A and B are shown apart, each in its own frame.
Chain A
Amino acid sequence: GAGVSQSPSNKVTEKGKDVELRCDPISGHTALYWYRQSLGQGLEFLIYFQGNSAPDKSGLPSDRFSAERTGGSVSTLTIQRTQQEDSAVYLCASSADRRTQYFGPGTRLLVL
């Protein structure tokens, strides 16, 4: 379909490994957001992209987290040396007007 897609849908990894999560926004949406949601909790903002630049990275919890966006489209969120507390659902959203956000189905990350 034409919605936001994310891959993988599920990821199980061992503590200390690096993981890369991918987001394909809706075509033409210039704004892209990453959030994290732990079980039973609210959305935690991680980073915002406008085009390829990230005006707000304030939500990244540590320097183990990084993200990039290329071609004003696909974005990847990388978590290095994963820890068990990184286990969560990572949600990506895109927006054409920086107001209404359309979410992808998320990547469920489990760090063992």
Chain B
Amino acid sequence: RKEVEQDPGPFNVPEGATVAFNCTYSNSASQSFFWYRQDCRKEPKLLMSVYSSGNEDGRFTAQLNRASQYISLLIRDSKLSDSATYLCVVNSPGGYQKVTFGTGTKLQVIP
């Protein structure tokens, strides 16, 4: 089993739709979780951290389910500019907090 798994998509959704992605992780001792966004031919950029209590930033909501070992990202009222690949990132304990990136979920918002 991969350490971090994501559905590669693509998710094709109309503007204004709500879309959700999940990301599962295998190490139950994982400590911190993030969502990054990567535009085509660009570097990844931090979108938001994921807190145990869940957190919201505008149209974006991130949640953590430790029992089932997954994190989720919900995007409401999708915009064309949301089209990108969304990377799940998990930090696991170790000598230096090993960082593992998922392979990403591609989102395409359609006019």
Contacts and interface: CB of A to CB of B under 8 A. Distances in A.
Q: What secondary structure prevails in chain B residues at the interface with A? A: strand
Interface in B72-91: 87, 89, 91
Interface stretch (A11-19, A40-48, A61-69, A72-80): A40-48
Interface in A76-112: 91, 98-106
Range, interface on chain B: 20 to 34
Interface of A: 31, 33, 35, 41-43, 45, 48, 50, 55-56, 91, 98-106
B43 interface: yes
Interface of B: 32, 34, 42-46, 49, 87, 89, 91, 95-104
A43 B96 contact: no
